[in-house]
Amino acid sequence: MRKIDIFDTTLRDGEQSAGVNLNTAEKLEIAKQLERFGVDVMEAGFPAASPGDLDAVRQIASTIKNSSVTGLARLVKSDIDAAWEALKVAECPRLHVFIATSPIHMTYKLKQTPEQVVETTVQAIKYAKQFFPIVQWSAEDASRSDPDFLAHIVEQAIKAGASVINLPDTVGYATPQEYGAMFKYMKENVPNVDQVKLSTHCHNDLGMAVANTLAAIENGADQVEGTINGIGERAGNVALEEVAVALYTRKDAYDIQSGLTLNEIKRTSQLVSQLTGMAIQANKAVVGKNAFAHESGIHQDGVLKEPTTYEIITPELIGEESNNLVLGKHSGRHAFNDRAKSMGFQLDKEALNQAFKEFKQLADRKKEITSEDLWTILTQQQLKDEDAAIYELESVQVHYGTEDSPMATARVKVPDGRILEDACNGAGSVEAIFNTLERIIDGKVHVLDYRVSSIGKGRDALGEAVINLTFNGEEFTGRGAAQDVLEASAKAYLNAINRNLLQSKMKQLISTSV
Ligand SMILES: [Zn+2]
């Protein structure tokens, strides 16, 4: 069976989704999970974008050993230098450079002639090859480029030293027939094409990203680029888990495999959803909450008699645990630590102690602790350092009645140990909390979006709040989990503020050091 490479760009293209801002600790968590999932290549970011991006890529490059780490760069020396600075520590560093090749992009965006674009490509690849053993070159908007020009520039890029040629459907416009035909055309018309791997990169604007990706694979692509849960610019990228499960389930049709560990899908998907704050639609293929829910009586009856009547994929395949109950009130520290380890968490002693304390507190209030609850507690501890550094919620209280306007009181701890306290009312309980916290942090906040959901099942499930707000004119997303949704909401609010402040603090540090 032919094997294709999986190139994950959750941390670059995915991170470009509107409203998503991951900090370095979160990016590292996702990178480690992607490594566990078995991606061949992960694109960790765009090092030239900012010193913070460069640092995140460097940390990922020095942590990840079993996947090749790459970073994006434009075809300019300063971008390539920044990428090398970030990636030289990697086990197997590779560079991803790109330039647009469609008439519309070359004319209006680049304002370069096709000859200039070829020249820029050749010079930049030659420059990059002095540092990077593997250089991938992307023809942005390839699917709307002239096929002959594309074949010509691809040939030149290969001559200059590119080892992977990526041909994206940048705007999600191509049909599967057209996209497949483009790969076939390159295979037949680029004389040195056998020296490289061809790669797909599909966007989902017309809902055709998976179909386009599969068409490219059938026509000679050796690498698939995409993201977890299909997040990304606009309607997103192709969802890698969907491609992987399609290839697995229909190996009779494709005869192609990926090296992914499919039973890590559920966990990877949940982590990305949790840390980006981007919810997964219930009916999404493979990872949606309803993906395995058989609702109609006829279907249920069929599945009970013989699962394959209606079930083409099993929940076990993607690592969805059928028996979710993991620990109870009487579970001891030893069982808890074992479980954390088997879930892949590597916490230091202090963080583990704190997580155990929170587990005990939750177990007092909640009968069954599920793996989702544990996951939330442990992830929170793992990411704590970077998140909770400035404002920390001590307590929140709300007086609510259907007759009067709700009043909230909150106590918030600041780094010098002081406790700030205030109270305020609002039209609803959540607004009262947000108004109170706005007074405490003393700044202008606009709430753009706010969402509450439950983690796991049951009436005593943990609540999770995700908030999207602007503070000091910048947009940030924050998350918080607690047994009570009001407490979760307060935590999410402060989490967004902390992220904002930490990022501006980092910017200041950087601007004074250069
Ligand atoms: Zn893209």
Higher-pLDDT residue of 483 and 145 is 145
**Cα–Cα distance measured from residue 36 to residue 38, given in angstroms and rounded to the nearest whole number:** 5
- Determine the distance separating the centroid of ligand 1 and the alpha carbon of 72, expressed in angstroms: 11
Q: Tell me: the pLDDT tens digits for 1-15?
A: 899 999 999 999 999
pLDDT score recorded for residue 512: 44
- Determine the distance separating the centroid of ligand 1 and the alpha carbon of 224, expressed in angstroms: 12
- Determine the distance separating the centroid of ligand 1 and the alpha carbon of 165, expressed in angstroms: 14
CA atoms within 13 A on the CB side of 118: 14
Beta strands in 9-66 (DSSP E): 41-43
pLDDT at residue 388 tops 80 = no
- Determine the distance separating the centroid of ligand 1 and the alpha carbon of 172, expressed in angstroms: 9
pLDDT at residue 417 tops 80 = yes
- Determine the distance separating the centroid of ligand 1 and the alpha carbon of 265, expressed in angstroms: 21
Looking at residue 221, the DSSP 8-state letter turns out to be -
Band (pLDDT 50/70/90 cuts) for residue 442 is: confident
Helix locations, 161-313, DSSP H: 176-189, 209-218, 240-249, 251-254, 265-276, 297-305
- Determine the distance separating the centroid of ligand 1 and the alpha carbon of 203, expressed in angstroms: 6
- Determine the distance separating the centroid of ligand 1 and the alpha carbon of 225, expressed in angstroms: 9
Q: Tell me: the pLDDT tens digits for 305-350?
A: 888 888 899 999 999 875 455 677 788 888 888 888 877 788 888 8
Rg (CA), the chain: 25
- Determine the distance separating the centroid of ligand 1 and the alpha carbon of 9, expressed in angstroms: 8
* pTM for this predicted structure: 0.87
Q: Name the percent of the chain lying above pLDDT 90.
A: 68
Mean pLDDT across the stretch 292-317?
A: 82
Average pLDDT, the chain: 91
Looking at residue 514, the DSSP 8-state letter turns out to be -
Q: Name the percent of the chain lying above pLDDT 70.
A: 96
- Determine the distance separating the centroid of ligand 1 and the alpha carbon of 311, expressed in angstroms: 32
Q: How many residues does the chain have?
A: 514
- Determine the distance separating the centroid of ligand 1 and the alpha carbon of 170, expressed in angstroms: 6
- Determine the distance separating the centroid of ligand 1 and the alpha carbon of 236, expressed in angstroms: 8
- Determine the distance separating the centroid of ligand 1 and the alpha carbon of 6, expressed in angstroms: 15
Estimate to the nearest angstrom the gap between the alpha carbon of 324 and the chain centroid.
25
- Determine the distance separating the centroid of ligand 1 and the alpha carbon of 502, expressed in angstroms: 28
- Determine the distance separating the centroid of ligand 1 and the alpha carbon of 204, expressed in angstroms: 10
295: exposed, middle or buried (C-beta count within 10 Å: 0-12, 13-18, 19+)? exposed
- Determine the distance separating the centroid of ligand 1 and the alpha carbon of 324, expressed in angstroms: 36
- Determine the distance separating the centroid of ligand 1 and the alpha carbon of 171, expressed in angstroms: 8
- Determine the distance separating the centroid of ligand 1 and the alpha carbon of 82, expressed in angstroms: 21
